[in-house]
Amino acid sequence: MLRAIWLLILLVLGVWAALFLRQMGGNVEISVGNTFIGVPVWLGLLVLVVGFVVLHGLLSAWKSLRGWPARLRARRAARHRRDGDAAVTRALVALAAGTPDQARLEIRRARGLLGDTPHTLLLTAEAERMAGRNDAANEAFRLLSQREDGKFLGLRGLLRDAMQREDWPAAQRLAREAEAAQPGAAWVREERAALAFRTRDWKEALALSPPGQLTGHRRAALALAAAMQDPDTASSLEKQALSAEPGFAPAALAVARRLAGEGSPRRAKAALQAAWAASPHPDIAEAFLADEPDALARVKAAETLTHENRTHPESRLVLGRTALAAGLTGRARAELEALVSSGQADRRAYLAMVDMDAVELGDSAAGRMAEAKWLRAAASAPPEPRWQCLNCGTVHRKWEPICEECSTPGRIEWTGGGAAKGGAVATT
């Protein structure tokens, strides 16, 4: 509207100027050699204006003609982009609906329209993987990993595949590359930790497991497992294991063995005593009494070991057994009877009672009666505690970092009483 008003004003001004000039009269004269042209001023101006308009029109038409192929290309690119985006959306819907063949079709169309972009390559890989064509999926991931903008995504896909194929060396290499491409990515850290567990690289698994996530027995088990793999840092790893679970007998034994080896037998014994106070275990008692050759000295040593938790069933059992071995039957009977009447006795207590009555009563009618009584009690008593995988129930003869039956790391624990879940006894 405003433009129309301006045009009208301009037109009125032009007509007025032309009329004015005509009224004024006057000529424009051009002489070239002998030729002489003379026109009125208004006609001269009119020719000039018309000439300018025609020239401008011609130039504009030429420019528009020259830009035509580029405009055509841009229009085609925009159409491709629109169609490609629509195909990507349809592929995503097909993937979400679990129809990989449809997804592959749409993604092929999208790739034809948009070319190899991180989106189309990633979707290709996912669709191929869903269709069970792992080679084609890996090819797309490989292409993606060669691009600067899609490197991490490509490596992530390849790593996932390598872990599925259980190709551990390739998985470790890819995990390192992914870590370099995206330092500190939580996902890479988790995958590397999982990888370390799968390859039984306990030290790496320990280093990659966040302290908050891995506590208590699992941390202790992992630290001790790492110590068993790496002699260079074993000493500090063993201490780490013991501080994560102060009553963890295998860690206490390892620490004590190391201290004794370093010429500190008193500190070794103190470590065993501390572990016993936290959680009594027969292996600790065995190690504590190992270098006491005299039976009476063993009784004294057992008293020293157990003085923090005198009434614990394991304490009573070790006190009763050492007293019996030293011929202190009165003392042994007091401990073992207290244990039996506490209701916490397992099979070992009743078998110790059999031994004691054999010493006290000998091969007499009373002795045989007592033996039969204790054996019956032993048969129905809970079994002694043992190393058992809490995942599959397998009983192990000694502590191991990983249960070979179910390949679960850090779940073999010292369990008392109740029957094994699986009932299987491994020969490990």
Beta-carbon-side half-sphere exposure of residue 294 (alpha carbons within 13 Å) = 4
> Least separation, in Å, of the C-beta of 361 and Zn ion?
44
Q: Order across the sheet with 395-396: list the strands.
A: 395-396, 386-389, 412-415
- Is the Cβ–Cβ distance between 155 and 181 less than 8 Å? yes
**392 touching Zn ion, by CB under 5 A:** yes
> Least separation, in Å, of the C-beta of 222 and Zn ion?
16
The CB density around residue 234, as the number of other CB atoms within 10 Å, is 16
> Least separation, in Å, of the C-beta of 388 and Zn ion?
9
**406 touching Zn ion, by CB under 5 A:** yes
Residues 40-79 that bind Zn ion (CB under 5 A): none
Q: Which is nearer to Zn ion, 334 or 392 (CB)?
A: 392
The 3-state DSSP class for residue 76 equals helix
* Helix axis angle, 151-164 to 168-181, nearest 10°: 160
Site string (229-248) toward Zn ion, x via CB under 5 A:
--------------------
> Least separation, in Å, of the C-beta of 418 and Zn ion?
16
Rounding to the nearest 10 degrees, give the CA dihedral for residues 293, 294, 299, 304. Answer: -60
Q: Which is nearer to Zn ion, 43 or 420 (CB)?
A: 420
Q: Residue 408: which of 242, 262, 222 has the closest Cα?
A: 222
Rounded CA-CA distance 294/298 in Å is 6
> Least separation, in Å, of the C-beta of 396 and Zn ion?
9
Beta-carbon-side half-sphere exposure of residue 342 (alpha carbons within 13 Å) = 18
Binding footprint of Zn ion, residue count (CB under 5 A) = 7
Rounded CA-CA distance 288/278 in Å is 15
The CB density around residue 280, as the number of other CB atoms within 10 Å, is 23
Q: Residue 382: which of 354, 349, 411, 353 has the closest Cα?
A: 349
Q: Which is nearer to Zn ion, 254 or 403 (CB)?
A: 403
Chain centroid, CA 57 distance in Å: 69
**428 touching Zn ion, by CB under 5 A:** no
Q: Which is nearer to Zn ion, 94 or 221 (CB)?
A: 221
**405 touching Zn ion, by CB under 5 A:** yes
> Least separation, in Å, of the C-beta of 406 and Zn ion?
3
> Least separation, in Å, of the C-beta of 403 and Zn ion?
3
> Least separation, in Å, of the C-beta of 402 and Zn ion?
8
Applying CB under 5 A, the span of 94-102, 139-147, 283-291, 405-413 interacting with Zn ion comes to: 405-413
Measured in degrees and rounded to the nearest 5, phi and psi for residue 421 equal -60, -50
**283 touching Zn ion, by CB under 5 A:** no
Rounded CA-CA distance 106/112 in Å is 10
**389 touching Zn ion, by CB under 5 A:** yes
**391 touching Zn ion, by CB under 5 A:** yes
**403 touching Zn ion, by CB under 5 A:** yes
Q: Which is nearer to Zn ion, 86 or 392 (CB)?
A: 392
Applying CB under 5 A, the span of 117-125, 217-225, 251-259, 388-396 interacting with Zn ion comes to: 388-396
At position 23, the amino acid (one-letter code) is Q
Site string (341-380) toward Zn ion, x via CB under 5 A:
----------------------------------------
Question: Where on the chain is the footprint of Zn ion (CB under 5 A)?
Answer: 389, 391-392, 394, 403, 405-406
